[in-house]
Structure 1
Amino acid sequence: MPLAPWQAAMITPAEDFDGAPFLRKEFQLAEGHGGVAWATLRATAFGVYEALINGVPVGEDVLSPGWSSYEWRLRYRSYDVTSLLGPTTVIGVSLGNGWYRGRLAWHGMSNLYGDKLGFFGQLDIEFEDGFVQSVASDSSWQSGPSGTTFNDLYDGQTIDARRNQPGWAEPGFDAGSWAGVRALEFDAGRLAEPVGPPVVRTGVVNPVKVFTSPSGKTLVDFGQNLVGWLRFTVQGEAGQSITVRHAEVLEDGELGVRPLRSAKATDTFILSGGEDFFEPTKTFHGFRYAEISGWPGTLTEDSLEAVVVHSDLERTGTFECSNELVNKLHRNIVWGLRGNFLDLPTDCPQRDERLGWTGDIAVFAPTAAFLYDVKGFLQDWLLDLAAEQKAADGLVPITVPDALKYCPQPPEFPKLESSALWSEASVWVPWALWEAYGDTTVLENQYESMASHTRRVEGLLSDTGLWDTGFQFGDWLDPDAEPDKPWDAKADTGVVATTCMFRTAYITAQTARLLGRQADAEYFEQLAARVQASFLEHYVSGDGTIHSDCTTVYALAIAFGILPSRAHVDFAGERLAELVRKNDYRVSTGFAGTPFITHALTDTGHADEAYRLLLEEGCPSWLYPVTMGATTVWERWDSVLPDGTINPGEMTSFNHYALGAVADWMHKTVGGIKPLAPGYAKVLIAPVPGQGIDWAKTSLKTPHGTIRVEWRLDDGAFHLEATVPEGVEADVVLPDGEPRTFQGGTHSFDHRIVAANLNNQGSR
């Protein structure tokens, strides 16, 4: 139904009420127009809000409207509330600081976007005769205190149940002592409908163990590192406090809080004396363990539960194989995505950061788009990226939304310019969505952003044609770097940046051609060719050695296609495999090389090395954290050292999804599902078996239907069963290298493998 024009004002309570006010509007339904045909509430806030009609939540979302680039895009949500109205109706709103006014980043700063909370909403009610009654936020609303006396996303929430006001959002409540509201200056042109889904409660996790630490603290283990909060019902003496501290790991049997840095991650609940229900929905924590003090009586596994919170995403891809450690790794990757896809793709969900780092999602987007339907989620975030970029004269910031632009940097910190791989998110993420879903909308919406970034970096190239000047993150967190020098990688930053620029120019050219921008396509193709020529002239020696001669530079050169001949590619593949073997199959790559090294090995006929790299259990490796009990992907390969102590580095998160980008190789190579056309309109089914995995099952729900691939090795026989949707053509490549094609349905294939050739099945 068409909605009435906006009549609302952004209102703020006359008093701050501890940063968590209630707002209230009671009114009568218009008479003489018949029954209510439909009613829609549209709502947004400076801060976070929860809206109720006659005491009933209007939706399942929490932490709405989330975090967008508030300066240009303030999203609102719409709710069908037809069934909630009565002759007398109350709109109730609970506000909190959220990202708008709460603490952001590690500088200790709050109020980055404003120092006043606000609510902007309108309820439109259409009656049977077509009459529309609109009730909007205005100066007639009232404001009052809630039970929350403190709330911050990093530091936690304090709820005093003695201050609860039962029925505050229902008709007949006595609000005579409540205060008023006043209007804030607000440009309604900033309002934006959300493209992505809301944040919701997606499940609960029950404790697996309640125990006492060596110092006598009561600890609860939920068995899974998750993101959300605890909720429980409890009864005790009035005024008694229960304190809950959260952390991802234990150290020496106690809560390991040092990696949280300044984030307190502490919730406090003050009892009323009656039966109290507590759920702190104005914060969130990344945790597996909770330390609980002040609990009345005996705390048991049945006393409380953890609520899992993240954006409401549909699961689309699955993977399972014969190696249980690999299965556990894959589950950890899924949990890492869930914890960090909370309204935007963050780096981590627990410490004083939780920012939308562009580098992480630049490399993880293909994995994310396989595991979940992230089309709307990432398209929404990309709109913020484009808004930030436009305001910064084409510079794609390292975090989106860019809170860091408001935070002071130390004098010695380099002035940031476009940063390879990080700023590349403006190009690589839209392209990953195009490949996954086959919808040009994202390319059309983001084209100016893509082209603007590519042109800006062109202007940063040195006289040699290389991107080798200015600060670069490079192969961030190279495992050979010192804990306090994450930038100190083996890979030359110019090599990393220049290969990234080549890939970006190539993708931008392809995008321009898809959108019919032929002049742009030719321009960016020529730019890619110039970057490639400069790379070859300055970074590739006569025998094919790439400057800095380490795994990351070869992996990127192969994966990004910057090498011009088969001879160059073959040399790079052999050298890459040699370096992997010399390092005893331990990981030697950082943020830049890790997502691409297994692809590069397999694509050059070195599947054996790729498998052994994946299956290595010594540190550093993907499976080392699994053997150490990890339930999500770590930021550092050795976030926990072999002796059980926490890595001494300042950055030590236990829930960072970026290094989990290896799942893209697991899906495509081990599982065997690759798109041959955007959106999997045509698919390549080509599992590459290797030692250590005897069978694999993979499935993917695509825009055309579900693809399933199952294969197994049995005494040298390779059996494959594949299902593709009707109307989808599949090219099947068995270990013999011969292609077969079929249309729709389920098909089985058998092939006998010569044992000596099992691990030479990488070259296509």
Structure 2
Amino acid sequence: MRVSHIRAEHLDEPFGIGVPDPRLSWTTEVEGPWRQTAYEVEARGERVAVESDASVLVPWPFAPLASRERVTVRVRVRGGHGWSAWSDAQVVEAGLLSARDWSARFVAPGAGRDLLRCEFDARPGLTRARLYVTALGVYEVELNGERVGADVLAPGWTSYGHRLRYQTFDVTDLLAEGRNAIGAMLGEGWYKGRIGFAGGKAGYGDTVALLAQLELVHPGGEVERVVTGADWLAASGPITFSGIYDGEVHDAGRERDGWSKPGHDTEGWAPAELVERDLATLTAPTGPAVRRVETLAGERDGVIVDFGQNLVGRLRITAEGRAGERVVLRHAEVLENGELCTRPLRTAASVDTYTLRGGGQETWEPRFTFHGFRYASVEGPVTDVRAAVCHTDMARTGWFECSDPLLNRLHENVVWSMRGNFLDLPTDCPQRDERLGWTGDLQVFAPTAAFLYDCAGPLTSWLADLAAEQAEDGALPVVVPNALGPKAVFAAAGWCDAAVIVPWTLYERYGDAGILQTRFDSMRRWVDHVAALGEDYTNGYQFGDWLDPSAPPDRPGDGRTPKRLVAAAYHVRSADLVAMAADVLGRDAEQDRFATMAARAREAFVQEFVTEEGRILGDSATGYALAVRFGLLPTRGQRDRAGARLAALVEREGHRIPTGFLGTPLLCDALADTGHLDTAYRLLTQRECPSWLYPVTMGATTVWERWDSMLPDGSVNPGEMTSFNHYALGAVADWMHRTVAGLAPAAPGYRRLAVAPRPGGGLTWARARLRTPYGMAETGWSLDGGRLVVEAVVPPNTTALVTLPGRAPVEVGSGHHRW
């Protein structure tokens, strides 16, 4: 019996953590059935024992951490075998927990400059050094000529007026006794650069600036600080332009050798400019940073390079030529007529340019931009080119595979679309002049995301931005952070409901009741806002079932499902979830109020949209799927008839997808729940457009925005809105995990598993693995001569409810099981 994988909050590496009382989690490795009965935590020489079976996000049992405090934590547990040995030590170190901890001030390099530097002396006997740093814009820091950390596009994108994340780095090994130098390079990033499809700036500010506080700790705890201030110097560097959409221009002839090393000649450098900024907005990250996570080689044919995978990141080139020669890199997701198809990028140039300094081999990768691409054109004297894949450095947690190679490729496409669109925050697409945190996309995809990767930390941060951007009356923006201004704040059903549904998903998948506590006010205010709007359910435009295949290409919101029906259905769903959240939190009065609100809204839905026979206004697949999955039909007969009508509509369409963004994620569940599993499988395995597998047959390596983003003849959809990397329609992967493979949560955080595979679709086997908060869970089934064989691995300290075809449900404990 061994305790491992100790975490603080949702961080595997709780370094620079931003809360004084971080909740702790751990897993226990033990064979066979086992249940924890007590745990003991050690830190600061204290030990606290608790009689409890809890092992996920348990309360911090000691006095709160102070800023900068570093403690080692060990855990042991008791179960059926007595006490375990103590775990290995996990270090938990606090960041700067208060604005009062900062003595640094923001400094700007000034117009036309992007480099900042400072020299300082370090005394002998240094025990440790920490760099706390952030920027208005994006930054990279160097210490004595060495890059600090591996973060990309730090500090990332948040609602800058409310929250600005800072990073903490251990730089002890980069310092030398005596003279040292620290330098930073800045870019516009999301803060100052062009963001949004209106063509303008995001409007956060017109000056990039750096905030850095280097703390040198000596024996006895004495601290020296090197901070950004009026003594810093600024100059121009080799980057003459950088932008998220348009790329980067780098002139190597303008590089300043040794600019971040001590002794550099600073003639011509100007004093940095002080910038006033409220430091109370500073906050520590709740999840990992964006990093380079993989490098891919490509196949080159003339100037075109094919990396075999639609990805997000940038190119890393090696070139050799004369001083002044240029390398031009262009990016696209697809080819059309053998050339890069850049029309879907709209106004995003996505071009990087490098001017050689000459004199030998030169290696270069852009710093302050990223692109979505599979193909690139490379012009210039380039001898080698690689693609650096960049995204939030989340841990992979979930896997799926089955006997159908096309479904496996579909699932891999979903994974790659999540990777590409979780670049610091969840976006709609990573390539064109948009790349925004659309709420509706995440609302439908969150369950899939939470299975594939540990995204609790990143989504906790995103929800904090959502709450910060919420209007006083409870209305919400449809993109978070809101880079589109007041016009993006309105009651968009299915989009703004992310304020309720995403926190609930994090509770369901990670067992984090704290996120419900923290975001309950935001959840409540949104539902109250919709209730106050009355029967119209809107104070502006409704997207409806966006991108319904029947909608005109230039009017993607004009689908078959009445928009008021969609809004009414989502109001019931969100009111239900707020009532459930209130129940979890012990808020009895609010539980009663929102349960009553949901009941009345459900009754109003039935009266307006449902006939006694179970027909629903609009007679659309999305209407029936919403009614079934959101529990909007009061009688079993109505529900059964609605399910039958849904199946008939799907069959009438030749088992091709008849739904858009909001209906599609519910479709297979609604069919399976009402006895039409075969129809759901025929939808899943359909290859004709519109279907999940049509893009796969067309060579897709990510999920498309439109079912027909590429037409059967290989030409690109002529519509203005055509992306080849959108994860929303990949939300079906959640159904594949839960129903095809049969692995779902039956209690928050998978404390109790639901093992319930439902074979079909001609598959002969399927399996899924998930690293739950309690350890690895697995399910798998195969057909052996017509006999169904099911296996499951249930993590320690959990149970599973096993429901197999033709058998009564059975409860099992942890361990390996076979039926």
**What's the TM-score, normalizing by structure 1?**
0.93
**Residue in 1 that maps onto 2:806:** 736
| Structure 2 residue 216 is the aligned partner of structure 1 residue 120 | no
**Residue in 2 that maps onto 1:28:** 121
**For 1:186-232, what per-residue CA distance to the aligned partner results, in whole angstroms no more than 9, with x for missing partners?**
1111111111211101101110x2114xxxxx111000000000002
Instruction: Report the identity percentage.
Output: 50
**For 1:97-121, what per-residue CA distance to the aligned partner results, in whole angstroms no more than 9, with x for missing partners?**
1000111011111251111110011
**For 1:620-676, what per-residue CA distance to the aligned partner results, in whole angstroms no more than 9, with x for missing partners?**
000000000100000000000111111111110000000000000000000101111
Equivalent runs, 1:405-424 vs 2, <5 Å:
405=485, 417-424=490-497
Alignment-mate amino acid for residue 266 of structure 2: A
Structure 2 counterpart of 1:280, from 366, 388, 392: 366
Alignment-mate amino acid for residue 288 of structure 2: P
Residues 1:737 and 1:553: Cα distance change in structure 2 (over 3 Å): farther
> Secondary structure of the equivalent of 1:113?
coil
Structure 2 counterpart of 1:131, from 212, 215, 222: 222
CA distance in 2, matches of 1:599, 1:219: 43
CA distance in 1, matches of 2:147, 2:447: 35
**Residue in 1 that maps onto 2:107:** 11
Q: Flag structure 2 segments of 5+ consecutive residues without an equivalent.
A: 1-67, 70-95
Conserved 8 A contact 1:158-1:269: yes
Equivalent runs, 1:57-76 vs 2, <5 Å:
57-76=147-166
CA distance in 2, matches of 1:546, 1:79: 57
CA distance in 2, matches of 1:542, 1:612: 29
**Residue in 1 that maps onto 2:257:** 166
Q: CA deviation at 1:511?
A: 0.5
**Residue in 2 that maps onto 1:95:** 186
Conserved 8 A contact 2:425-2:458: yes
CA distance in 1, matches of 2:705, 2:270: 47
Alignment-mate amino acid for residue 474 of structure 2: G
**Residue in 2 that maps onto 1:187:** 278
CA distance in 1, matches of 2:117, 2:527: 49
Residues 1:138 and 1:470: Cα distance change in structure 2 (over 3 Å): closer
**For 1:574-614, what per-residue CA distance to the aligned partner results, in whole angstroms no more than 9, with x for missing partners?**
11111111111000100010011001111111110010000
Conserved 8 A contact 1:468-1:498: no
> Secondary structure of the equivalent of 1:304?
strand
Q: CA deviation at 1:470?
A: 4.3
Conserved 8 A contact 1:239-1:271: yes
Conserved 8 A contact 1:11-1:182: yes
CA distance in 2, matches of 1:260, 1:540: 42
**Residue in 2 that maps onto 1:448:** 521
Residues 1:77 and 1:651: Cα distance change in structure 2 (over 3 Å): same
**Residue in 2 that maps onto 1:358:** 439
CA distance in 1, matches of 2:477, 2:221: 48
Q: CA deviation at 1:86?
A: 1.1
> Secondary structure of the equivalent of 1:499?
helix
CA distance in 1, matches of 2:538, 2:640: 26
> Secondary structure of the equivalent of 2:484?
helix
Structure 1 counterpart of 2:325, from 240, 265, 274: 240
Structure 2 counterpart of 1:595, from 665, 671, 675: 665
CA distance in 1, matches of 2:528, 2:654: 41
| Structure 2 residue 138 is the aligned partner of structure 1 residue 42 | no
> Secondary structure of the equivalent of 1:521?
helix
CA distance in 1, matches of 2:567, 2:199: 32
> Secondary structure of the equivalent of 1:726?
coil
Equivalent runs, 1:417-566 vs 2, <5 Å:
417-462=490-535, 467=537, 470-566=540-636
| Structure 2 residue 471 is the aligned partner of structure 1 residue 398 | no
**Residue in 2 that maps onto 1:761:** none
CA distance in 2, matches of 1:737, 1:666: 22
Structure 2 counterpart of 1:226, from 292, 298, 311: 311
Alignment-mate amino acid for residue 598 of structure 1: C
CA distance in 2, matches of 1:722, 1:347: 35
Q: Flag structure 1 segments of 5+ consecutive residues without an equivalent.
A: 213-217, 410-414, 750-764
CA distance in 2, matches of 1:63, 1:197: 13
**Residue in 1 that maps onto 2:167:** 77
CA distance in 2, matches of 1:47, 1:232: 25
CA distance in 2, matches of 1:542, 1:129: 79
**Residue in 1 that maps onto 2:655:** 585
Q: CA deviation at 1:348?
A: 0.2
Conserved 8 A contact 1:469-1:494: no
Structure 1 counterpart of 2:404, from 323, 331, 339: 323
Equivalent runs, 1:608-623 vs 2, <5 Å:
608-623=678-693
**Residue in 1 that maps onto 2:35:** none
Structure 1 counterpart of 2:637, from 564, 567, 583: 567
**For 1:470-499, what per-residue CA distance to the aligned partner results, in whole angstroms no more than 9, with x for missing partners?**
421000000111110101100111111111
Q: CA deviation at 1:517?
A: 1.0
> Secondary structure of the equivalent of 1:43?
strand
Q: CA deviation at 1:295?
A: 2.8
Conserved 8 A contact 1:161-1:276: no
Alignment-mate amino acid for residue 312 of structure 1: D
**Pairs aligned (count):** 721
**Residue in 2 that maps onto 1:604:** 674
**For 1:360-417, what per-residue CA distance to the aligned partner results, in whole angstroms no more than 9, with x for missing partners?**
001100000000001001000000000000x4532110000000007xx7xxxxx852
CA distance in 2, matches of 1:628, 1:80: 47
**Residue in 2 that maps onto 1:412:** none
**Residue in 2 that maps onto 1:760:** none
CA distance in 1, matches of 2:270, 2:208: 15
> Secondary structure of the equivalent of 1:663?
helix
CA distance in 2, matches of 1:392, 1:225: 41
Conserved 8 A contact 2:475-2:489: no
Root-mean-square deviation (CA, aligned residues, Å) is 1.3
CA distance in 2, matches of 1:104, 1:486: 23
**Residue in 1 that maps onto 2:341:** 256
Q: CA deviation at 1:572?
A: 1.1
**Residue in 2 that maps onto 1:198:** 289
CA distance in 2, matches of 1:329, 1:572: 29
Alignment-mate amino acid for residue 180 of structure 1: P
**Residue in 1 that maps onto 2:300:** 210
**Residue in 1 that maps onto 2:27:** none
> Secondary structure of the equivalent of 2:699?
coil
Residues 1:392 and 1:89: Cα distance change in structure 2 (over 3 Å): farther
Conserved 8 A contact 1:468-1:495: no
CA distance in 2, matches of 1:737, 1:405: 55
CA distance in 1, matches of 2:734, 2:638: 25
Equivalent runs, 1:333-372 vs 2, <5 Å:
333-372=414-453
> Secondary structure of the equivalent of 2:559?
coil
Alignment-mate amino acid for residue 242 of structure 1: V
**Residue in 1 that maps onto 2:7:** none
Conserved 8 A contact 1:15-1:179: no
Conserved 8 A contact 1:461-1:469: no
CA distance in 2, matches of 1:668, 1:14: 54
**For 1:279-305, what per-residue CA distance to the aligned partner results, in whole angstroms no more than 9, with x for missing partners?**
101100000000112235xx5xxx110
Conserved 8 A contact 1:616-1:623: yes
CA distance in 2, matches of 1:172, 1:469: 61
| Structure 2 residue 775 is the aligned partner of structure 1 residue 719 | no
